[in-house]
């Protein structure tokens, strides 16, 4: 039991030190930069984020399942159904690369036929 108590104390110390570091960055950042180049006010956004992250109420598991399903659906659409513009832009180059790759491998394929054992001539 002493090792589990020691482990618990170490985990609590590590967790509190991690939270202190994160909290100090969030709280000191508005003092360094009060307004970002985009024009939005940094301290107000940070205070809202910190307050929302410490919300004590728990959502039902059905909301988490719905969120997981929505994120999965969006990822599937982005990676599979909706093609990206960059893949269309790289299409000619990928075809050229495939053609050059097959032309480079063509002599190797022909040479491989020479070394195969053939049935003896009669």
Q: Both 108 and 68 in a single domain?
A: yes
For 11-61, the pLDDT digits (tens) are 777 766 666 666 666 666 666 666 666 666 655 666 666 666 666 667 788
Do 69 and 108 belong to one domain? Answer: yes
User: Domain ends where: 33, 57, 81?
Assistant: 57
> Domain residues for 73?
60-116
pTM: 0.25
* 41 contacts 35 by C-beta, under 8 angstroms: yes
3-state secondary structure 48-86: HHHHHHCCCCCCCHHHHHHHHHHHHHHHHHHHHHCCCHH
Q: Please write the tens of the pLDDT for every residue from 65-102.
A: 888 888 888 777 666 555 555 555 666 665 666 666 66
Q: In the listed set 57, 72, 94, which residue is the last one of a domain according to the structure?
A: 57
Q: Is residue 111 part of a domain?
A: yes
């Amino acid at each position: 039991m002493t090792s589990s108590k020691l482990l618990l104390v170490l985990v609590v110390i590590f967790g509190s030190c991690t939270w202190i570091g994160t909290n100090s960055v969030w709280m000191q950042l508005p003092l360094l930069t009060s307004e970002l180049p985009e024009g939005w006010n940094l301290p107000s956004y940070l205070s809202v984020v910190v307050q929302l992250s410490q919300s004590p109420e728990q959502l039902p598991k059905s909301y988490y399942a719905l969120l997981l399903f929505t994120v999965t659906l969006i990822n599937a659409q982005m990676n599979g159904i909706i093609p990206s513009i960059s893949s269309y832009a790289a299409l000619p180059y990928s075809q050229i690369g495939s053609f050059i790759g097959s032309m480079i491998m063509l002599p190797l394929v022909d040479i491989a036929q020479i070394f195969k054992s053939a049935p003896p001539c009669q």
